[in-house]
Amino acid sequence: MANLLFEFAATLSLGMLLGAMTFYSWSKLKATQDDTPKDQLEFRFENRELVDACPRARRSLSLEDLDEDVYHQLIDRLSRIFPDLPQRLGDSSRHNAKFTLNVSTQNGPAVLEVDAHGSSLSLRMSGIEAPLSHKVLVDSDQAAAAAAELTVLRAAVNAAPYLSWRETADGTLDWVNQAYATIAEDTKSARSSESWPPPRLFHDGPITSMGEAPLTKRSTLEMRSGETRTFEVLRYGNGNGTLNFAVDVGATLRAEESLRQFVQTLTQTFAALPIGLAIFDKSRSLVMFNPALMDLTHLDPVWLSSRPTLYDFVNQLRENRMLPERRDFADWRKKITELDKSATDGSYCETWALPTGQTYRVSGRPHPEGAVAFLIEDITAEMSLTRKFRRELSMNQTLLDHLPEALVVFGDDGVITMTNAAYDALWGTDPENVLGQLTITDATRLWQSASAPNPIWGDARDFVCTRGERSAWTDTATLSNGRIATCRFEPLAGGATLIGFNTTPAPQSALPQRQQPSQLAVVSP
């Protein structure tokens, strides 16, 4: 029993001693009063052993840091901020020294005050956020979520169809994605896929600050297959280096070349087109015109190249007397508005009789995305020919009307194309409604109804509808009024047919004889 009491007392004494030693060791690190500013950290070392620290400095240490070389860990991390610190500390180890280091960081100015006296070293710093502990305690769920997000980001970057890589300040690559590695292996300057870092494929180019509009540069790469691939490179500033992206724009270049060739083809076509062409975009600015437009409108090509509006374009035409005369200026402006609206739905088409004696046909056509095109065609010769043709037709009609023979002309399709006044008087037709409405069938029905039965009308239908070689022939018919009509059938060029009617009074032998009074028999009562 006595032995057990002795062992219990010895164990209790040893525990109290160890507890007292532990309390003493930690109390050396505990500051008596936290009178340091909130943005400062203070540490004090004896023979490179941490003996004191302010509460904020202690909070920056993890429990594991107390079992490690805190001095060298702290000096190493501070040296990244203050590169001159190791050398200055080496000089101060031979004698007492007190100095201050100042640098400018991304978070603002950082200050380090060093006070060395023999084996004692005090460090006071501000503008530095917890530079000590390299161990971070995090929640397990947060760590799992961060790891999952990192996996997704890595997979997304490696699956991206564009090249991504990061360069240091001296141009060395320290990270690339899978697309970059694949292209690097296929270039003529490719090295072994196991070599690091990969070759630098793109050089120079404008650097854009994060959040600003990207500045691009196109670069080409020679592939092993002999193909030349073009990439559009974007570079963003990222700390002391750059974060870079390259997109293959080969398809874009091919589309641009195809569009360029198409525009050249259109330009060449429009250049040879005798019709003036003016295309206005949705804001009604002139975006395209051809040489014929300058020839027809007498507008200055330099002025046309300045992209005038539709209103200015029409106003300039008016100044050049290339518009029909308008008595009312307000009415003229209204015409411009109507021109724009009607051209949008493709219904605008006008004939302009110019003061110069020329005649233009102007039409408007809608184009995609709200654009509109105007076509200006000089039809002066066409109008002159039309007027001449109409005068000739009028003269021919006058000549036909003065002929005593009743004439009718049928086209190759059997439709009446021309009659004269004698024909209208003979058959009682309206000259205003005949042309283009009656066929040979309608005409023979009219003739048959106004004459005695006769097979001539059936032969007339067959003659008009016959194709090929035909011979002229004549025949007679007796009209309802007893007059004799001599019918003449003549083939014309192009399958047309001319039929003429000459009427004469019926012969006396054909008329019924009236009995004379002397020839009547007398009957006696």
Secondary structure class of 345 (helix, strand, coil): coil
Distance CA 248, CA 233 (A): 9
Distance CA 505, CA 277 (A): 67
- pLDDT (tens digit, 0 to 9) for every residue of the chain, 525 residues total? 434 333 433 343 434 433 434 333 434 444 444 455 567 888 898 888 888 888 877 776 654 455 567 888 888 888 888 888 888 887 766 667 888 988 887 777 889 999 988 888 899 988 876 555 555 445 567 778 888 898 898 888 888 888 999 998 888 888 899 899 888 888 876 665 567 778 888 888 888 887 788 888 999 888 888 888 999 999 998 877 889 999 999 898 899 889 888 878 877 887 888 889 898 988 889 988 888 899 888 899 899 999 999 888 888 888 888 888 766 666 666 766 676 777 777 677 888 888 888 888 888 888 777 888 888 998 888 888 888 888 888 888 888 888 999 999 999 999 998 899 999 899 988 777 656 678 999 999 999 999 999 999 999 999 999 988 899 999 999 998 889 999 999 999 989 999 999 998 877 654 444 444 433 333 333
Q: Report CA-CA distances (Å) from 511 to 481, 483, 505, 507, 515.
A: 12, 11, 11, 7, 13
- Position 200 scores a pLDDT of 87
- Position 234 scores a pLDDT of 92
Torsion of CA 348, 349, 355, 358, to 10 degrees: 150
- Position 29 scores a pLDDT of 42
- Among 448, 495, 432, 446, CA closest to 419: 432
Q: Are 358 and 380 a contacting pair, CB within 8 Å?
A: yes
Distance CA 235, CA 163 (A): 12
Q: Which residues contact 360 (CB under 8 A, 6 or more apart)?
A: 296, 322, 351, 352, 354, 376, 377, 378, 379
Torsion of CA 440, 445, 448, 449, to 10 degrees: -150
Distance CA 225, CA 83 (A): 49
- Position 260 scores a pLDDT of 87
Q: Which residues contact 170 (CB under 8 A, 6 or more apart)?
A: none
Residue with tokens 């004191």: 52
Q: Which backbone phi and psi does 456 adopt, to 5 degrees?
A: -65, -30
- Position 6 scores a pLDDT of 37
Q: Report CA-CA distances (Å) from 461 to 65, 116, 472, 497.
A: 123, 134, 14, 11
Distance CA 154, CA 156 (A): 5
- Position 28 scores a pLDDT of 44
Distance CA 147, CA 426 (A): 108
- Position 61 scores a pLDDT of 67
- Position 68 scores a pLDDT of 60
Q: Report CA-CA distances (Å) from 138 to 141, 144, 273, 361.
A: 9, 10, 77, 82
Q: Which backbone phi and psi does 277 adopt, to 5 degrees?
A: -125, 130
- Position 139 scores a pLDDT of 58
Q: Report CA-CA distances (Å) from 239 to 105, 166, 215, 236, 517.
A: 11, 11, 18, 10, 144
